[in-house]
Amino acid sequence: MGEGWENARRRDDGNDWVELGLAGCGEVRLLELDTSYFLYNAPGAAEVSGCDETTSDPAVPASWFTLLERVDLRPDTRHRFVVAAPRPATRLRVDVFPDGGLARLRAHGRLTADGHEALWVRWFNTLPRPHLRAVLEGLGMPGGRVDAVLAGRPVEKADELPAELADLVR
């Protein structure tokens, strides 16, 4: 397939799965499991789990929780499911039973406040220097201050971001 995820046929009692990282910690409120164009090789069922790695002790593995109970799927169909009990998650795991393909997985929701700030910190630290300079100058920051901000990268927390970005971050 040109897009999507298609796994090999299983000849045992197991199932296939894929694990995905989200852009930031957020509450998933709607899941879309799309089997479009998978007419004869769509999975018979799927379930989705999540975990929040931001609350775990690094020495202890994150615990997984169910976002979508095992549900039957139809071929060539865009399935949408409301998540009954949204919880913050940083990773999703999609299990398909027994095997088959998904054209697309979409997770709709909102970043948590901490997830939103962490995403801004990552953006600030990874944006190429000329691009960040253009952004900061576009916000009206004087050239000398821009140089000082650029020299202070990387930052660890949102509190260390320039004050000019405060209204955007929070």
- Which of 59, 79, 110 finishes a domain? 110
Give the pLDDT of residue 159: 92
Give the domain CATH number at 23.
2.60.120.260
pLDDT in tens, 124-159: 999 999 999 999 999 999 989 999 999 999 999 999
Q: Which of 75, 94, 110 is the last residue of a domain?
A: 110
Q: Are 106 and 120 found together in one domain?
A: no
pLDDT number for residue 49: 97
The total domain count for the chain is 2
In this structure, what is the dihedral angle of CA atoms 149, 150, 154, 160, given to the nearest 10 degrees? 10
Mapping DSSP onto H, E and C, the string for the chain reads: CCCCEECCCCCCCCCEEEEEEEEEEEEEEEEEEECCCCCCCCCCEEEEEEECCCCCCCCCCCCEEEEEEEEECCCCCEEEEECCCCCEEEEEEEEEECCCEECEEEEEEEECHHHHHHHHHHHHHHCCHHHHHHHHHHCCCCHHHHHHHHHCCCCCCHHHCCHHHHHHHC
End of a domain among 64, 86, 110?
110
Q: Express as a percent the part of the chain with pLDDT over 90.
A: 76
Same domain for 127 and 99: no
Pair 35, 68 in one domain: yes
Render pLDDT for 24-68 as a digit per residue (tens, 0 to 9): 999 999 999 999 999 888 999 999 999 999 876 777 788 999 999
Domain span including residue 9: 5-110
Query: Are 45 and 104 members of one domain?
Result: yes
Residue 2 has pLDDT above 80, yes or no: no
CA–CA separation, 170 and 56 (whole Å): 24
pLDDT of residue 20 exceeding 60, the answer is yes
Tell me the two tokens of residue 16: 């296939």
Residues 70 and 91 grouped into a single domain: yes
Query: What does pTM read for this prediction?
Result: 0.86
pLDDT of amino acid 12: 85
Shared-domain flag, residues 9 and 86: yes
Helix 143-151 vs helix 129-138: angle between axes, to the nearest 10 degrees? 140
66-107 pLDDT tens trace? 999 999 999 999 999 999 999 999 999 999 998 889 999 999
Rounded CA separation 88/104 (Å): 22
Task: For residues 96 and 25, state if they share a domain.
Answer: yes
pLDDT at residue 14 tops 70: yes
